[in-house]
Structures are given as structure tokens and as C-alpha cells.
Amino acid sequence: MNDTVTITDNRTGKSYDFDILDGTRGPSVVNISSFYTDTGMFTYDNGYTSTASCNSSITFIDGAKGELRYRGIEIEELAEKKSYLEVCFLLLNDTLPTKEQTKEFDLELRHRSFLQEGLTNLFHAFPSGSHPMATLSAATAALSTFHFNHLDMSNESEYQTMARRIIAKMPTLAAFAYRYSIGACFIQPDISKSYTENFLYMMRAYPGGKMHMDMDGQRAIKEIEIKALDTIFTLHADHEQNASTTSVRNVASTGAHPYVAISAGVSALWGRAHGGANESVIKQLEMIGSVENVDAFIARAKDPDDEFRLMGFGHRVYKNFDPRAKVLKSLQVQLQDELNLDSNLMKIANRIEEIALNDEYFVSRKLYPNIDFYSGVILTALKIPTSMFTPIFVIGRTVGWITQWIEFKKGKGMKIARPRQLYLGK
């Protein structure tokens, strides 16, 4: 016999019991799936602030503590000790890979990183200068046309192939979207390079694949850059039922192709309230321009009549520091010396953080810096153009989306997503 919650309709005095379901971590849920049939009413939860849409065993967040775990392992440990590819394997298989499995996984992703020629031609259909997120979303959906075999859901190796293929191709799709946006030719993947280095290579190499050399003949792609970007991919890999993952699951629930579901995730992520915030943070810091102007912008962010918001601040779940922001902040300090972090942008960002963490408006609303507040400054130091900030988020998050897609498809009793409404019309 489950514990229950009783809801009483005070208009009729009738009471209704609903089961409480407990998870392995975090809040329990009240199973209200029979609420409409029992009461004739719908529940209402604008923005799903108190609603669990599914059960999952992939990622756990404790917003009050500022805790994030992938398959039970804390993000701080993974960011410090594991490569992004090891984290991908962990998310997909619920276990960290052995050295052999890591090598096999890495090799397979290198071989799968190429795009069919027809898909490459797609980019040329877009106006020159198109934002990489627009062409990336379209190209991701188009990938489904090259792999339209209906997945045998009972065949684990088919799942793995479908997942590894899109994880492998996303950096190439993103790099090609960037190259097209600047009118440069595409640089094919180089399978002698690691996953993360290859992405930077495809973004930066000259036609013919030669890399720019520093004056002293140093490698154009430094180890510190590869490690920093690899950590950024890990921090973005998954994040429970956020808006873009919910979009992926909703599309999965209709039975559409997995790659168009991922494309829906790419589109949802682009919004500045979500993954597009990293690009908006830098634009905002540049607009503020100097430390002296920060106070005026903080006042605007607090003004209820001004739609201006402090990009990179606040989070639906974290009511404490975003643990990913903490990792990025320490990475920022490490990079300070190694890479020329834009000191003016850094000063403005540090001033915003200093004020906001002590100002009653932000403190009372538990508005802390989130992952996007710091990622933009670091990506700028890595000489990544701002138009590529959200595509980099896409690359990191692809493994989370496809893992959540697989969990949905394997789930027992998963239903098509079909919320109801409070009707206010005629």
C-alpha cells in the first residue's frame, strides 16, 4: 500500500487520494495521472515548475545544494578526472569505460565523424552569413534522411550505433555550419586528432588543412585549449528535464526519427533564456562596456517595468551556485595566465557577480550565476566566435539528448506528450 496525498474539493467536500512515489534521490512525486478522471479537473502548472514529466536514472540535480550527478557521479569529479568521451560512454552505458572501451569508443567516433557529400551540399542552400544555430538545426534534421532505417528497438547495438553516429557527427556539423557562416570552405575531420581537437581543427584550419602557426612555430591548437573545451563539453553533457531535453522527449513520444528529435533540441536550446544565454552574456558584457556602467544595468535588471535581464543569472532549478559555474570559475582562474582572458570583460563579469551576490533583489530570488555566465568569457579566451557558443553547447548536450531519447524509447508505459489547458476563450 503506497503512502498517499489526499486532496479535498472544498466546494463539494469530496476527497481524492493520490499515491506518493519515492525516487532514489531527491523529492518524491505525487502520481496525479488519474486526477482528471477522478475529479473532472486538470492540474495547472505554468512552465512545469512543480511537475515531473517522467522518471529517469540519467542525471540528478539538487537545486538547493547546487549538486549535479551524471549516473550518480558528481560533476566536479568527472570534470576533473574524466575526458568528455569517457563521460559520453558513462551517460550512454551507465558505467565508466575501461581503457580498452575508451579506445574502441574513440576510434569509432573518429570513423563516424564524416558527413555524406549530399548533407554537405545542404549548407549551400542557406543565405551567406546564416547563423550557425539555424543551419545546424536544419542539418541535424537532414541527417535523418541519410539514416532512415527504422531502428530495431530490441537491438542494443543498433541503439549504440544510432547514438555514436550523431555524437560523432555533431562537431563536424557545427564546424561546417560555422565555416559556411564565414564563407570559408569546409575542413574535413582528421581522424588522427582527438574528438575535441578535431572540432577546433575543423573550425580553424586553412583550406587544404594546414594550421596557422604562431610566430615561434608553436602548435596552433594548444593542449590547454583542448582540455578547457573538453571540460566545457562535459559540463554541458546533460541536465535532467530542461527545456531542450523536454523538446527531444516530446518529439520522441510521437515516434518521429531520433535525429529530428535532436534537431528539436537544437532549436529549443537556441533561445536566450536557455542555451542561447552564453552568447547573450558576452553581448551584454560588451554592451555594458566598463565596470563604471555595471550599477546602471543592475538597476535595470531589478526594474519590474524593464524587460532587461542579467544574462547568465538565475536558474529554474539551482537556487544556489550552479556547480558547473563553480568548475568554470576555477577554470577561468587557471586560464587567466595561460590565455589572455579579456581583462575588461572579466572585470565587468566579476563586478556583476560581486554586486548580484549581495543585492537583496538577487539574494531574495536566489539568483546565482549559472553555467552560461562563465562559459562565454572562457570561450572568448579560446578565440571561439560568439556565434559558436551555443553550437558548442549543442555538441556537449547531444549525448544527453540521445541518452534521454533512448531512455524514453526503452521506458515502460511511456505515453505521447499531450498536456491539457485552462480554456479562457469564448
Binding site for ligand SDX (CB under 6 A): 47, 239, 242, 273-275, 277, 301, 304, 309-317, 365, 367, 370-372
End-to-end CA distance of the chain: 44
Q: Which of these, 142, 207, 150, 217, lies nearest to 173 by C-alpha position?
A: 142
Nearer to ligand SDX, 123 or 362 (CB): 362
Task: Confirm if 314 and 274 have CB atoms less than 8 A apart.
Answer: no
Return the number of other C-beta atoms located less than 10 Å from residue 12's C-beta. Answer: 8
Residue with smaller CB distance to ligand SDX, 178 or 389: 389
**Strand pairing report for 67-70 and 73-74:** antiparallel
372 is known as an active-site residue? yes
Contact 78, 72 (CB under 8 A): no
In which residue are the cell numbers 585549449 written?
225
Determine whether 257 is an active site residue.
no
In the complex with ligand SDX, which residue's Cβ is closer, 198 or 280?
A: 280
Please, what is the minimum distance in Å from the beta carbon of residue 316 to ligand SDX? Answer: 4
Q: State which residue has the least CB distance to ligand SDX.
A: 314
- Shortest distance, position 353 Cβ to ligand SDX, whole Å: 13
Of 257 and 274, CB closest to ligand SDX: 274
Give the whole-angstrom CA distance, residue 278 versus residue 324.
13
**Cβ 324 to ligand SDX shortest distance, Å:** 7
**Residue 112: CB minimum distance to ligand SDX, A:** 25
Q: What is d(CA 196, CA 233) in angstroms, rounded to the nearest whole number?
A: 9
- Least Å from the CB of residue 96 to ligand SDX: 22
Q: In one letter, which amino acid is 345? A: L
Q: Name the active-site residue from 106, 230, 238, 372.
A: 372
CA–CA distance, 382 with 312 (Å, rounded to integer): 19
Residue located via cell numbers 532505417: 149
Nearer to ligand SDX, 204 or 351 (CB): 351
Distance CA 208, CA 78 (A): 36
Closest CA to 379 of 349, 400, 412, 359: 349
In the complex with ligand SDX, which residue's Cβ is closer, 216 or 305? 305
Task: Please identify which of the residues 236, 239, 315, 322 carries the catalytic annotation.
Answer: 315
Closest CA to 111 of 174, 170, 189: 189
* Shortest CB 168 distance to ligand SDX, Å: 22
Which residues are tagged catalytic?
315, 372
